[in-house]
Every structure is written in structure tokens, then in C-alpha cells.
Chain A
Amino acid sequence: DVKVTQSSRYLVKRTGEKVFLECVQDMDHENMFWYRQDPGLGLRLIYFSYDVKMKEKGDIPEGYSVSREKKERFSLILESASTNQTSMYLCASSLGAGDETQYFGPGTRLLVL
């Protein structure tokens, strides 16, 4: 079974702090994704990566950056957290090469005070 793990289930940070959210997958997947989930808006793509050190902006990249130094790990960085970044963050991965099924992590619920 594919396993996607996220470093924290719950996180509380203060405005202006730098926040790191980590995601690790154990199935040698090519593609990794970061979404934020808000009520009524579904999931919106922040960034995705199709290879090590490669990244592409999604629909809402403002205020976020990402890092993929190793194939299995994809980090989401909030350079200066703001209250409007309070949300559920979901990481996902997919094999690539025509297999587009995405496998999701458990999510990190971030509260910015």
C-alpha cells in the first residue's frame, strides 16, 4: 500500500512565523502535490513537483514556497504565516507515467494566531 505521511496533524503558529510542513511518500512516486482544503471550496492546488528540484505553481501559490530535495520528500513553506493561511493542508503523490491516481496524506490542520 502507498503510504503518504505528514509531519504534524495539528499545528498552531503565530503571525509572521516561518512554518514548515513536511510530506513523505514511500512508493517512489514521481509527482507530489500540496493542497489546501477550506469548507465549501474543496481542495485547491498550491504547488506540485514532478521530479526532484522541480516545481510548478498551482492555483494559489501566493504566500507559499516548496522544496523537493529528495524524491520521497516534499516540503511546503510559509515564509511569514498570516491568519488567512489557517486551513487544512493535504499532501498527495502519484506514480506518474500515465497513472494519475493521487494518494493523500492525513492532512495538517494549521491554525495561525
Chain B
Amino acid sequence: AQTVTQSQPEMSVQEAETVTLSCTYDTSESDYYLFWYKQPPSRQMILVIRQEAYKQQNATENRFSVNFQKAAKSFSLKISDSQLGDAAMYFCAYRWDNAGNMLTFGGGTRLMVKP
């Protein structure tokens, strides 16, 4: 069974600084997708960024980028120029290519942003 591990229950970052959230996963599959979702306090979960395992290039979305290390089964999220609105729970998720859209989530990392 696939598992996703986020080893940092809580992280904090100073506004305008850079922070990296860690995620590792366990799978025997070669084709899969990885996601980072953000859940702001009392607000809906939204997709931040996604990565297809067959792509070697790391995905980037504005201030958000990933470091995808397939051999190490690592998928970290880097947030540059952190803003107060980045404070949220962040969930890493994995989907096997033939899993019928079923996602496996990590336990989450609570990110606090200090002004």
C-alpha cells in the first residue's frame, strides 16, 4: 500500500522569507502523480501544485515550487517570499496512475507565518 509521510507537524517562517515543507512517499509504481494542497483556517482546501512522475522538470506555480526526487521518493514544497496568506495546513498527496482518482494524503504540516 502506498503511504505518504510529512515529518513536520508544524513549521514557521518569517514573512518574505523562504520555507520548505517535506514529503516522502512509498510506492512500487513508476507512473503516478503528486500534489500539494493548502487548507487555510476555516476555508476550503485548494490545489497548490502538482507533479507528474514521468516529468523530470520540477513544477513551479508563481512563488511555489517543488523539489521532486523520484529515486529518493521525496516531494518537497518550497514557498518563496512567504506572505501572511500562506498560513495554512499543507497536505502532500499521491495518486497512482491507475488508482481511479484515489488520493493518499500525508498527515499535514501547519505553516505559521510571522509578520
How many chain A residues touch the partner (CB < 8 A)? Answer: 26
Tell which of B44, B91, B102 touches A45, judged by Cβ atoms closer than 8 Å: B102
Partner of A94, one of B6, B45, B101, B107: B101
- What secondary structure prevails in chain B residues at the interface with A? loop
Q: Is B91 within 8 A of A42, CB to CB?
A: yes
Q: Is the interface of A mostly helix, strand, loop or mixed?
A: strand
The interface size of chain B toward A, counting residues with CB under 8 Å, comes to 22
Q: Tell me which residues across on chain A come within 8 A of B105, comparing CB atoms.
A: 35, 42-44
Is B84 at the interface (CB under 8 A from chain A)? no
Q: Decide: A102 and B101 in contact? CB cutoff 8 A.
A: yes
Q: From known contacts A96-B101, A102-B101, infer whether A42 and B107 are also in contact, taking CB-CB under 8 Å.
A: yes
Q: Is the CB of B44 within 8 A of A100?
A: no
Say yes or no: is A106 at the interface (Cβ < 8 Å to chain B): yes
Alpha-carbon distance between A48 and B95 when the two chains are bound, in angstroms: 14
Contact between B101 and A106 (Cβ–Cβ < 8 Å)? no
Tell me whether B91 and A50 are in contact (CB under 8 A).
Answer: no
Contact B45 A48 (CB under 8 A): no
A82-113 toward B: CB 8 Å interface, digit per residue (1/0)?
Answer: 00000000101010100011111111000000
